[in-house]
Every structure is written in C-alpha cells, then in structure tokens.
Amino acid sequence: MTEQEQRIQVVALAKSMFDRGYATGGAGNLSVKIDDNRLLTTPTGASFGRLEPDNLSVVSMSGEHLAGNRPSKEVAFHLELYRNRPDCNAVVHLHSTYLTALSCLKGLDSENVMRAFTPYYVMRVGQLPLIPYYNPGDKQIAVSVGELAKNNSAFLLANHGPIVSGKDLLDAVDNAEELEETAKLFFILSGQNIAYISDENIDILKRKKP
C-alpha cells in the first residue's frame, strides 16, 4: 500500500468509527507505520469525523515531527508500542463509551480487567492489562505501555480509555471494535452468572488469533 493509499484508509476508517460513536469530538488518535522509519498519525485535537488525507502528521520513530499538522502529544505511547512489539504496525486509541466506563471502575484486576467470556476477545486481544491513572500527555503512560508491550497487544488506561494495536490499521480497528463490544457485554451481563471460558480453551484460542 502506498503512503497516499494509507492516508485515504486512515481517513475512511476514522470516519467510520466516528459515525458509529466510537470516537467523539477531538478525542482519540490513531497511527500506522509508513515504513520502518516513519508513521502516519492523526493531528492533535483532530476529530475522527473531519480528517483530511493531506493534513495527517508524519512522525519519525524517534518522535520527530516530519510533515503535516502537529501530532498529538499521545503519539509517545504509540511509539513505545512500535519499538517494543515487532508485530505492531498500527495503533488505535479511543475514548469509546463502554471501555472508558470500565476504566473508571474501582477494584479492576490490573493484569486483565475482563475475564474471558467470548472467544473473539481472546483471539483479538488475549487479555487487557490496566495502566494506572496519569494525566493525558504524562510521559509515564508511554513508559508503562512500553513495559507491557512485549506480552500485550491492548491496554486500558485508567479513567481514560483503550489502546489497541494490530498487524495493520484494519486489524487494529477490528481489534478495537471487538474490545468495545466485549466491554458492552460486560456491563449487560453485570450481576449475572457468567459462563467464563476455561483456561484450557483460552490457551487454544490464543493460538488461533485472526
């Protein structure tokens, strides 16, 4: 895929998420690797519903702003995922309703905030560790993501929202949408006697990642 094709894809997928309520206002950001040295990312404060291909930011893997509008300050944790997870080629960060609501709950398991009850949750993200609360833009968010990235492809920022990676941008968006739907089910099933997936089946499912 050429860089221009990637720009068009970023705009189209971001608009699709905005139209379906996964992103509101200027919240959230996404990025995709152009090559081993550069990534394409949404500009600071940009609405997913009003992006323009030519205005997207280009950032080096060292964090230098190379072209386009000014990138989000949160690109720092995108870079940590790329540096620490070789199979990561795209990152989606949302303030989606159900995952953000989940991130505001007390007493979550920091290693995995949702015990598996659907197979696609396991196949898409495996598990969802919680990163403690830091103010948006705090450098410690990137540090924490980098520390967990080797063994995790998705994260939940406390009182903030999800970070989800993928082998390409379409995969990352699909992973993010599956994760949001799982969080929705989590709240629908609250207080019910849930049939969780066994550890044995989880191990099998993890080997069947799409």
CA distance 180 to 162: 9
Known catalytic membership, residue 120:
yes
Known catalytic membership, residue 82:
no
CA distance 201 to 33: 33
Q: What is the pLDDT of residues 101-142, one digit of tens each?
A: 999 999 999 999 999 999 999 999 999 999 999 999 899 999
**Positions in the chain whose pLDDT score sits under 70:** none
> Containing H/E element for 145?
helix 139-148
> Containing H/E element for 166?
strand 161-166
Catalytic residue among 52, 98, 120, 147: 120
Q: Which one, of 91, 191, 203, 210, lies nearest residue 146 by Cα?
A: 91
Q: Which one, of 185, 162, 160, lies nearest residue 175 by Cα?
A: 162
Residue range of the domain that includes 61: 3-206
Catalytic residue among 3, 5, 74, 180: 74
CATH at residue 200? 3.40.225.10
- For residue 208, what pLDDT is reported? 79
- For residue 207, what pLDDT is reported? 85
Number of domains the chain contains: 1
pTM: predicted TM-score of the whole model, two decimal places: 0.95
> Which DSSP symbol is given to 69?
S
